[in-house]
């Protein structure tokens, strides 16, 4: 992955190798639950995908990391993101609950940060049930 595109802006940051995790959740509607017969009814609405990743600054573009941190921590309902999906990508609106990174000291007058962990959670199913 060559950086992160969020809300139409491409941030030149590094995704830490082997940190990108994708998960899915099958969402049930109001008619889901146990029936009188004991059968469990699913009433599937669709599938939602969430992503978690660790980001590090690209030493060539330290300002992009700072800009990404400002954007990801802004108090907004959701962000439009593009993430890898299969052999292509998926674009969707996602909520960010929290994130954290580590201060790695100052070198040459530049603050060094690393391991920004971010979790994007879907706010609506990306795939609808058929």
Dihedral, CA of residue 105, residue 3, residue 14 and residue 19, to nearest 10: 120
Give mean pLDDT, residues 102-125: 92
Considering the entire predicted model, what is its pTM? 0.87
Q: What is the pLDDT of residues 32-75, one digit of tens each?
A: 999 889 999 999 999 999 999 999 999 899 899 999 999 999 99
Q: Percentage of residues in the chain with pLDDT exceeding 90?
A: 85
Dihedral, CA of residue 45, residue 52, residue 78 and residue 64, to nearest 10: -150
The predicted structure's pLDDT at residue 87: 96
- In 10 A of CB 9, how many CB atoms? 12
- Distance CA(52)–CA(26), nearest Å, equals 18
The predicted structure's pLDDT at residue 14: 96
Give mean pLDDT, residues 16-32: 94
The predicted structure's pLDDT at residue 1: 76
More confident residue, 76 or 108: 76
The predicted structure's pLDDT at residue 84: 95
Helix, strand, coil percentages in the chain from 3-state DSSP, rounded to 5: 10, 60, 30
Q: What are the tokens at 59?
A: 């030493």
**CA angle 27-32-37, nearest 5°?**
145
The predicted structure's pLDDT at residue 95: 97
Q: Percentage of residues in the chain with pLDDT exceeding 70?
A: 100
């Amino acid at each position: 992955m060559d950086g992160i595109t969020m809300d139409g802006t491409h941030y030149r940051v590094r995704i830490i190798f082997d940190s990108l995790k994708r998960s899915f959740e099958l969402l049930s509607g109001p008619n889901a639950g146990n029936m009188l017969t004991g059968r469990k009814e699913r009433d599937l609405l669709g599938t939602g995908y969430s992503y978690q990743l660790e980001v590090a600054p690209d030493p060539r573009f330290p300002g992009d990391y700072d800009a990404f941190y400002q954007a990801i921590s802004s108090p907004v309902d959701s962000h439009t993101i593009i993430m890898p999906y299969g052999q292509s990508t998926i674009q969707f609106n996602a909520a960010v609950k929290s994130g954290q990174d580590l201060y790695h000291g100052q070198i040459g007058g530049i603050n060094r940060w690393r391991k920004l962990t971010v979790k994007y959670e879907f706010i609506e199913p990306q795939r609808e049930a058929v």
